[in-house]
Chain A
Amino acid sequence: MNKTNLDLPAKNTWCPGCGNFGILQAIKNAISILEQKGVKKENFVLTTGIGCHAKIVDYININTFYGLHGRALAAAVGIKIGNPNLKVMTCSGDGDSYNEGISHLVYAAKRNIDLTMMIHNNRNFALTTGQYSATSPKGFKGRSTPEGSLEVAFNPLELMLASGATFIARGYTAKIDHLADLIVQAVDHKGFSFIDILDPCVAWFNTYEEYNKRIYELKNNNLSSKETALKNIWEWDYNNGGKIPIGVFYKIEKPAFDEEVNSGVQKIDDLDLKIRDILKSKI
Chain B
Amino acid sequence: MSKGFSILIGGAAGEGTRMSGQLIGKLLNQYGWRIFIYEDYQSLITGGHNFSIIRASPERISASTKEIDYLIALNQDTFQRHRGRLKEGGVVIYNSDQIKNEKGIAIPALAITTQLGGKPIMKNSSLLGALAKTLGIEWLVVEDLLKREFREKAELNLKIAKAGFDQAVTNQKIEKLNQKPLPLITGNEAVALGALKAGLEVYISYPMTPASSILHFLATLNKNLKNFVVFQPENEIEVINAAIGAAYAGKRAMVGSSGGGFALMVEALSLAGQSESPIVIIESQRPGPATGLPTYTAQGDLLFVLSAGHGDFFRFVVAPGDAEEAFYLTNLAMNMAWKYQLPAIVLIDKEISEDTFNLDDSVLEKAEKRDGKFWDKKGEYKRYLDTNDGISPLAFPGEVGAVVKATSYEHDESGITAEEDEEQIKRMQEKRQRKVIGLNREIENLKSVNIFGDKNSEKAIIVFGSNKGIAMELGKELGLRVIQPLIFQPFPEEQMKKALSGVKKIFTIETNASAQLTQFLGCRGVKLESPILKYTGRPFFIEELREELKKKL
A interface list, Cβ under 8 A from B = 8, 10, 40, 42-45, 47, 50, 55, 57-58, 61-68, 71, 74-83, 85-86, 103-104, 106-107, 261-262, 264-268, 271-272, 274-276, 278-283
Contact = CB atoms under 8 A, between A and B. Distances in A.
Interface string B215-257: 0000001001111110101110110011111111111010000
A13 to B, nearest CB: 9
19 contacts: A42-B398, A42-B402, A64-B407, A67-B271, A71-B237, A75-B241, A78-B204, A81-B231, A82-B202, A82-B253, A86-B398, A103-B238, A104-B238, A104-B241, A261-B231, A265-B228, A268-B225, A279-B185, A283-B26
B268 interface: yes
Given A71-B268, A75-B245, A261 B229 contact: yes
A104 B247 CA distance: 19
Contact of B234 (A61, A104, A283): A104
Given A66-B409, A68-B271, A278-B193, 14 more contacts: A63-B405, A64-B404, A66-B417, A67-B271, A68-B268, A76-B245, A86-B397, A261-B229, A262-B229, A265-B227, A265-B229, A271-B197, A274-B225, A283-B26
A67 B247 CA distance: 13
Nearest to B238: A74
Interface string B345-378: 0000000000000010100100000000000000
Given A68-B267, A268-B225, A81 B398 contact: no
A107 B229 CA distance: 18
A110 to B, nearest CB: 8
Contacts of B416: 8, 10, 58
B245 A74 contact: yes
Contacts of A47: 245
A264 B226 contact: yes
Interface stretch (B46-54, B103-111, B176-184, B502-510): B176-184
Interface string B387-419: 000000000111111111111110000011100
B397 A79 contact: yes
Interface residues of B, number: 64
Contacts of A75: 241-242, 244-245, 248
Contact of B246 (A43, A78, A281, A282): A78
A65 B245 CA distance: 8
B341 interface: no
Contacts of B196: 271, 275
B78 interface: no
B284 interface: no
Contacts of B181: 283
A103 B234 contact: yes
A224 to B, nearest CB: 27
A279 B367 CA distance: 15
B229 to A, nearest CB: 6
A283 B35 CA distance: 11
B303 to A, nearest CB: 24
A266 B224 CA distance: 12
A66 B398 contact: no
A74 B234 CA distance: 10
A65 B407 contact: yes
A275 B195 CA distance: 11
Given A82-B253, A86-B397, A280 B241 contact: no
Nearest to A279: B183
B356 to A, nearest CB: 9
B326 to A, nearest CB: 14
A107 B234 contact: yes
Contact of B408 (A50, A85, A272, A280): A50
B417 A55 contact: yes
Contact of A43 (B26, B189, B397, B406): B397
A275 B398 contact: no
Contacts of B185: 279, 282
Interface string B259-276: 000000001100100010
A86 B245 CA distance: 12
Interface string B17-55: 000000000100100000000000000000000000000
Contacts of A265: 226-229
Interface in B420-468: none
A83 B400 CA distance: 15
A64 B405 contact: yes
Contacts of B396: 83
Contacts of B397: 42-45, 63, 79, 83, 86
Contacts of A64: 404-407, 415
Contact of A79 (B148, B227, B248): B248
A8 B412 CA distance: 13
A281 B224 CA distance: 14
Contacts of B242: 74-75, 77-78, 81
Contacts of A74: 237-238, 241-242, 245
B26 A79 contact: no
Closest 5 pairs (CB-CB, A-B)? A78-B245, A78-B242, A82-B249, A74-B241, A82-B246
A46 to B, nearest CB: 10
A267 B196 CA distance: 12
Contacts of A83: 249-251, 396-398
Contact of A276 (B364, B404, B409): B364
Contacts of B364: 272, 275-276, 279
A85 B398 contact: yes
A283 B183 contact: yes
A85 B250 CA distance: 12
B408 to A, nearest CB: 6
A8 B249 CA distance: 22
A262 B233 CA distance: 15
A107 B361 CA distance: 41
A57 B248 CA distance: 15
A65 B226 contact: no
A9 to B, nearest CB: 9
B506 to A, nearest CB: 37
Contacts of A268: 225-227
Given A43-B398, A45-B397, A78 B225 contact: no
Given A42-B398, A68-B267, A82-B251, A266 B227 contact: yes
B248 A65 contact: yes
Interface hub of A43, A45, A107, A281 (most chain B Cβ within 10 A):
A45
A76 B250 CA distance: 13
Contacts of A40: 400
A264 B222 CA distance: 11
A65 B248 CA distance: 8
Contact of B245 (A79, A103, A283): A79
B182 to A, nearest CB: 7
Nearest to A44: B397
A58 B237 contact: no
A268 B267 CA distance: 35
